A and B are shown apart, each in its own frame.
Chain A
Amino acid sequence: MTKRHADVLVTDDDDGIRSTVAAMLRAEGFDVIEASDGDMALEMLEEHQVDVLVLDIRMPRMDGISVLDALEVPPVVLLVSAFSMDEEIRSRTSGKVFRYLRKPVAPGRLIGFVAEAMGEAKVRSAEG
């Protein structure tokens, strides 16, 4: 099955955050899809070729760390949390996360990080 393409998958259980982040990124011209928990994110990653994954850590059912555990080769990941990310989280997700971001992330910075991550995705794609 051919996967559909999406620039960014925004995964957050908080409606306010998810919808506004998606709207900001769409306004910048990114093709954005949304998921409200880890299970849904994995399903969407099955169906879509995603360049950048904006992933919240604390979510019901399946959290962000478990999503990363389930992905052998994840997209370029921006891992986001309202809590500070300790050494345990960093060591467990090491090699799979492009940037660790703490909420709230200023809109301009977030857009900048996503653009940077898109550049990284292009580099990885070129390297094969």
Chain B
Amino acid sequence: MAVGPVGPRTRLNGQPKGVTTDALHVEGLDRVVAARVMGVVYVVCGGAVAVIAAAVPQPAGSNLAAMEGICISGVVLGPLVWMLPWERWPRVATLALAVVALGFISGFDAASAADGFRYGLFDVVVFAWVGLSQARGTSVALVPFLVAGYVGPLVAAGHGWDSATASVFYAVPSCIVTGEAVAWMADRLRRTQGELVSAQEALVQGERLSAVGEMATVIGHELRNPLGAVTNAHYLIRSSLGDPEQVEQYLDVAEREVTRAVRLAEDLALYMRERELERARVEDGT
């Protein structure tokens, strides 16, 4: 059976009725999962940077206490983010986590008196998360926050038009390309998954129809024997009307064969009912 493009009726495993792959295409990763992923990123990145910052000498003008404070804030905020009731809030609420993350990075840049691009890798991580969890194009919408967070600490530190400030021209495209590439790949993956589910459903439906058709064919053929015997008995009764004993004998044959045919028809009806019940159970997940 040919499988068409993923239509608006296609539903993924575990996906509630009424939510379609088209909706997934727009929405991206489940918002609770997305928020929890960002919570983990807060803890892992905050913890790792806190340890590294404490272990290595920092440049002149840096404020280690502020750097560690920012990192520990991330580590503490992570579990809180995990526990918040994201399912009650709209998806756009999770974008606040990206803005907060950009704020952490910006604050850390300012506290460490570092060039903007030194910690630019973390901006890329944030935009990868945006691509994974939000609709395509969201990375572009976040550019003002990225530019402000990137350039702000440099301006505050007294940088003018120099190479550190100019690095924003490759930091921003890098983040956008990362976010959109991840969003595109995630979208493709979801579409492929939707197509697989659709193909699987078509296969199951085809097998179901095939089994029913096969059963109907077998019963149809099995009915030919009792029907043939009844036809023969009828012929014999007509030609034996003068002999009550033979008539009785062939009437018995006819009755037996009719009973057999009825039983076959009942078997078919029972089989169909069982398949309907089985299908209903599968659809209900019981």
Contacts and interface: CB of A to CB of B under 8 A. Distances in A.
Specify whether A and B are partners.
Answer: yes
Interface of A: 14, 16-17, 19-21, 23-24, 27, 82-83, 103-108
A100 to B, nearest CB: 15
Contacts of B222: 82
A106 B221 contact: no
A24 B232 contact: yes
Contact of B231 (A23, A83, A107): A107
A105 B235 CA distance: 12
Given A23-B250, A104-B225, 13 more contacts: A16-B225, A16-B229, A16-B233, A17-B225, A19-B253, A20-B235, A23-B232, A24-B235, A82-B224, A103-B224, A104-B228, A104-B231, A105-B228
Nearest to A13: B225
Contacts of B250: 20, 23
B279 interface: no
B227 interface: yes
A83 B228 contact: no
Q: Is the interface of B mostly helix, strand, loop or mixed?
A: helix
A66 B237 CA distance: 35
Given A20-B250, A20-B253, A27-B239, A107 B232 contact: yes
A61 to B, nearest CB: 18
Interface string B233-258: 10110011000000000100100110
Contacts of A103: 224-225, 228
B216 to A, nearest CB: 14
Nearest to A28: B239
A119 to B, nearest CB: 22
Interface of B: 221-222, 224-229, 231-233, 235-236, 239-240, 250, 253, 256-257, 260
A50 B239 CA distance: 26
Contacts of A24: 232, 235-236
A90 B114 CA distance: 89
A83 B235 CA distance: 23
Nearest to B234: A107
A21 B227 CA distance: 13
| Residue from the set A21, A24, A82, A105 with the largest chain B CB neighbour count within 10 Å | A82
Given A82-B224, A83-B221, A20 B239 contact: no
A107 B239 CA distance: 12
Nearest to B223: A82
Nearest to B246: A23
A82 B231 CA distance: 15
Nearest to B260: A16
Nearest to B236: A23
Contacts of B233: 16, 20
B158 to A, nearest CB: 91
A20 B236 contact: yes
Given A103-B224, A103-B225, A16 B236 contact: no
Contact of B227 (A83, A104, A107, A108): A104
A16 B231 contact: no
B232 A21 contact: yes
A106 B225 contact: no
| Residue from the set A20, A23, A106 with the largest chain B CB neighbour count within 10 Å | A20
Q: Which 6 A-B pairs have the closest CB atoms?
A: A104-B228, A16-B229, A20-B232, A107-B235, A82-B224, A103-B224
A25 B257 CA distance: 20
